[in-house]
Copies of this chain bind each other. A is one copy, B any other.
Amino acid sequence: AAEGPAVATQPTAGSSPFNTLLVSTKDNITTICFNRPEKKNAITVEMYNEIIKALEQAGKDESVITVITGSGDFFCSGNDLTNFTKIPEGGISKMAKDAGELLRAYVQAFIDFPKPLIAVVNGPAVGVSVTLLGLFDIIYATEKATFHTPFSQLGQSPEGCSSYTFPKMMGNAKASEVLLFNKKLTATQACAQGLVTEVFPDSSFQTEVATRLKAYAKLPRNSLALSKQLVRGTEKERLYKVNDQEVERLVERWQSDECMQAIMGFFQSKAKL
């Protein structure tokens, strides 16, 4: 798919077809920007679907690299937990199953993305926005970024293929702190563990990253896409299977008492503020 020179329609500023994202293509770079800064870019059901759609378009457009970043102070605060407060007619069981299908499709869009995918982590990242970094090719972070996956605090379990990618990149001894025991990593720690490619001072973050991206976008398009697919190809079947297993476990978790109590506790503590 990345081979063809097909040129996608480029949304111009102001006419974006997305409600929760800003998407633009310029100088061979497609940028997908999470755009719910007032909610720390927490991902709603609509936003999951829009990101899947934006990735599908970026995979086919004429860009050489695709960049994901956040607007405002946060990169992304993860799954919007209000997603769990809209119980559909089918009850909790139906809600959990639907959420599982959406998550599976969301993660698969990253597994299948055919070009170099670069995260520009402009601030704190939480939950699924952290775990999915294991499926990116390059991760640049400001020194102000943090990386937090409080799964067990919320009675949940890892997703985004992190149960495979995190032990692979950092070893089980370090990955367990993050995946099981809710350890929040600083940008420097995340870089030492292989989750982040490079950390920059916040004052020069955007300009230094822009310089690198500009250089990358001038490289031969097909060579880059095919090289990325080669690297990913060696573990694609594995990643599909891991995604399935993680989703299956989460669908169970979401219906467990442990998880419901933990999420209720989250909203109660917020209500007290």
User: Hey, which bits of chain A sit against chain B, CB under 8 A?
Assistant: 116, 133-134, 136-139, 151-153, 155-158, 163-165, 167-177, 179-182, 194-197, 216, 219-224, 226-228, 230-231, 233-234, 238, 242, 245-246, 249, 252-253, 256, 258-259, 262
CA distance A195 to B171 in the complex (A): 8
Check A171 against B173 for contact (C-beta < 8 Å).
no
Least CB separation from A227: chain B residue: B157
CA distance A67 to B267 in the complex (A): 33
Chain A interface mostly helix, strand, loop or mixed? helix
CB distance from A118 to the nearest CB of B (A): 9
CB distance from A35 to the nearest CB of B (A): 25
CA distance A220 to B156 in the complex (A): 9
CB distance from A43 to the nearest CB of B (A): 21
A sample of 21 cross-chain residue pairs with beta-carbon separation below 8 angstroms, ordered by A number, consists of A133-B173, A136-B172, A137-B173, A138-B173, A152-B220, A157-B230, A163-B230, A163-B234, A165-B172, A169-B171, A169-B172, A169-B173, A172-B231, A174-B194, A179-B227, A180-B228, A220-B262, A223-B258, A226-B249, A230-B249, A233-B245
